[in-house]
Amino acid sequence: MIGRMIDSLGCWRGRRVAVAMSGGVDSSLAAAALSRAGARVIGIHMRTRAANSSIACSSKDDAADARAVAERFGFEFHDYDLHELFRDAVIEPFIREYLAGRTPNPCAICNRRLKFGALLDRARALGADAIATGHYARVRLNSDSGRYELYCAADHAKDQSYFLFGLDQSQLARIVFPLGALTKVQARAIARDMGVAVAEKTDSMEICFIPDNDYRRFLLEEAPERLHDREGLIVNAAGEELGRHDGVHNFTIGQRKGLRIAAPRPLYVIGIKPETQTVVVGFAEELFTRALMIERMNWVSIAPQAAPLRARVRIRYRSNGSMAIIYPDGDTRARIEFDDPVRAVTPGQAAVAFDENDDQRVLLGGWIKEKQ
């Protein structure tokens, strides 16, 4: 397996490639394999922790692990402090989205703004031809269209293409995903065989800066002054008052627990109205809808078009997607109509469209504005 992986990266021999190194096994293997393939690797670690702050996607141990891999394989290494940009580009939008009654997707924002934004800029300043990461995804150049296309990884359980829908052509042209053709099991085996010290390191889970996955605690600690006087009503679809709540930031679409309302059947959050601090609840069947609107849309593997197109659309990461027709409204907005009703459309999350004839190819993606 090592030989095949090294051979697949042979095109980078002699070229400078920066690798975003988190300190985990995936990015460490990406750097080590490129180095073995003859690339002139530059390891870059992104520090997101400010002094006396618990907010971080990386720790001192992670930085040390990344540096140790660089020393083991003999390539250049840089450790950049990007905690202010991380705060402005990822943390603050995360807080604002919850306070506005939406459920954010910080990984997609981080990928575009930091990993393939700020870090790519740093890489180019260091003379790198491209930037590589440990993401499980694939990029191909379509010789007919001249566009770089984003594809799912070979390991569907680890595929991260959903989170990469925001990347534009200038970014995709400079990206390398060395692990895209591997399964996670294969990646760990290769890392062990190559002597990568972090081969058995546990993967990070959930949102990296909220390791316990308790976003309510996080909001209370990070924005307590913005959580005052946010009480409101819990109503049904007819507008009848059923209870009260402490703030719409405590709720997401599809939520069942924590409503504290007696009902003959389980109730779920089916709508959030931040302008009136109102939470709307209903029964399970009321969670389904046939259409939604997306905004801030990015055309990934295909050029913008005005005509409707069919695609398989995923409205959450762990989803097989549902067939739909996409009706573009200019280049950055679209209405999506599903063949069959979909459950729990959540404003603030991403809707990502995959080719109906090749459901490995990412066509476009955008942020869900509202269900219709």
Quickly list DSSP for 254-274: T--TT-----SS--EEEEEET
Output DSSP code: residue 247: -
* CA-closest candidate to residue 339, choices 366, 312, 370, 301: 312
Output DSSP code: residue 316: S
Cβ partners under 8 Å of residue 182, min gap 6: 5, 136, 153, 154, 155, 190
357 neighbors 302 (Cβ within 8 angstroms): no
207 neighbors 199 (Cβ within 8 angstroms): no
Annotated active-site residue in 57, 107, 110, 152: 110
Q: Is 208 tagged catalytic?
A: yes
Q: Among all chains, which residue has been given the structure tokens 């069959």?
A: 340
Cα 356 → chain centroid: 22
Integer Rg of the chain from CA: 22
* CA-closest candidate to residue 324, choices 353, 357, 293, 295: 353
Q: Is 152 tagged catalytic?
A: no
| CA separation for the pair 141, 266 (Å, rounded) | 49
Query: Which residues have a catalytic role annotated?
Result: 110, 208
